[in-house]
Structures are given as structure tokens and as C-alpha cells.
Amino acid sequence: MSLPTQLKTTRMTDATTGDQIDNQVANLETAICDMFGVPIDTDIANAGFLWDATGLKKTIFQDNAADPNAVGQIARNGKILKFHDGGVRSIPLSLAGDAVESVVHSTASPQTLYSATILGGTLGTTGMIDGYVDLFINSILNGSNLTIALSYGGQTLTGPQLSNATGSTQSNFGIRANFRLGARNSATAQRWSASFQIGAEGAALNWGGVSNLWNVHRMGFLTVDSTIDQILAVTTTWSAASVSNSVNSEGFEIHRLR
């Protein structure tokens, strides 16, 4: 698209005569439509931009219902914003995150530390999300277990137990859980992987009763309808209620990778 030659070489001035105005205005209309890709003689129901006195505040991408098809284009296809740089790339997106601490004391029933709504259509048939959650164990009694569970759409991905068989209370160490959830060429079938790490080897703890196991890795499959909104949650459950069994949630983040 290019500006009309007449508009590039002439402009309306005090010398413009009345019989020239219609043509000049028509040239201006054509130029504006060419530059912004706006169809002529078509009612536009929604603005593509939001402005105020300070300048441009927002760009509104309507669903293109197709990927961008030329280098340099950005377009929204469904819920996913995509960029063409010689190939079509999904733009990574932060889906949820929180750095607020919450403390669970004396709780032998499942407590949700973090949850996020993964909107329907986010995974599609080939999409993938990635995330982590950080925990801090204030203290865990000898003989106690802490179950850390990840779930999506009400189905548990994994729920390994952190066990203390050291003979004494262990205190003040961190745990990180990393997880990934991806579609299996279907909007109702997913694969997942997760890993959990203990942040202090000095505390002779273990996962699931396996001695000296500082890291645990799991993977598996789900069948959840991802075309509708689903909750991704992190819960903890202590084996015994005690003020000395205490865990802090230290933050989490979820991103869409593609």
C-alpha cells in the first residue's frame, strides 16, 4: 500500500479552490485507508486503538482466525498472539503469578497454596505451558510427611511426599517444584512432567521414603477438556497436625510457551 501521488505532491492551502476540495479529501481518505488497512465504505464496529490525552494506551487485536502469513506481521489467532519472522512464532505469555506468602500450620487436610485459571483454548491441540512454585519449610517433625500435589482440571498430576526420617525436627529449607503441561495433538489429552528439589542437603530428608533422594522427577498423562476454563492448583497436606509442621508458599509463575 502506498500514498496516492496527488496527496504526496499537493496539499490543501488557502489557494485551494472549491472544485479541488472533493478530490483532495478523497485522496486523504484513500491514504488513511491504505496506511491502516481499513476497508472503504465498511462500518467498523470496534476501534483498533485506545487513546487519551497522553497518547496511545492500548491496541486491540481482533481474532484474525489465521496465522500471520508474511515476515513482520503480528496477528491474533484465537487466544494466541503470533509473530512472523520467516516462520510463525507464538509470543510467550505470562498466564499467572504471585509472590504473596501464605503459611499453613497444623493442617492435615489439603490446603491450596496457589491456583490459576487456565482459560479454555490456551492449550489447543499442540500448546504447552510451563511453571514453577517455591516453598519454604519452616519445620517438619521427625516421622512427618508433607504431600505436595499439582492438579489440572481436578485431576492430580503428581503428589510426592517429603518425608523426615532423620530422628529430629528439620527446619528452614526451600523446595522448588517445576512443571510442564502440554497438549497431545488433542484438546482433551495432555502430557505433563514435574520435578521437585530440596534446597538443603544438610537436612537428611527424602522423597517417598527413598533415602538420600534430593530430587524427584515424575511424568504422566491426563485427559482433561482444555477447551473450557480449568484450574491449575498447588496443594499441600501434612501427615500430622502440629505447629511444628509448617510450610510457606514463596511464589509461583505460569507461562504459555507455545
pLDDT band at 8 (very low <50, low <70, confident <90, very high): low
Q: Which is higher by pLDDT, 18 or 9? A: 18
What's the mean per-residue pLDDT of the chain?
86
Q: What is the pLDDT of residues 188-202, one digit of tens each?
A: 999 999 998 887 655
Average pLDDT over residues 237-246: 93
Q: What is the pLDDT of residues 109-144, one digit of tens each?
A: 999 999 999 999 899 999 999 999 999 999 999 989
Give the count of beta carbons closer than 10 Å to the beta carbon of residue 162.
Answer: 24
Residue 190 and residue 221: Cα distance in Å, rounded? 6
Q: Which residues contact 5 (CB under 8 A, 6 or more apart)?
A: none
Cβ-contact 161, 207 below 8 angstroms: yes
Q: What is the pLDDT of residues 182-231, one digit of tens each?
A: 999 999 999 999 998 887 655 566 665 555 556 788 999 999 999 999 99
pLDDT band at 52 (very low <50, low <70, confident <90, very high): very high
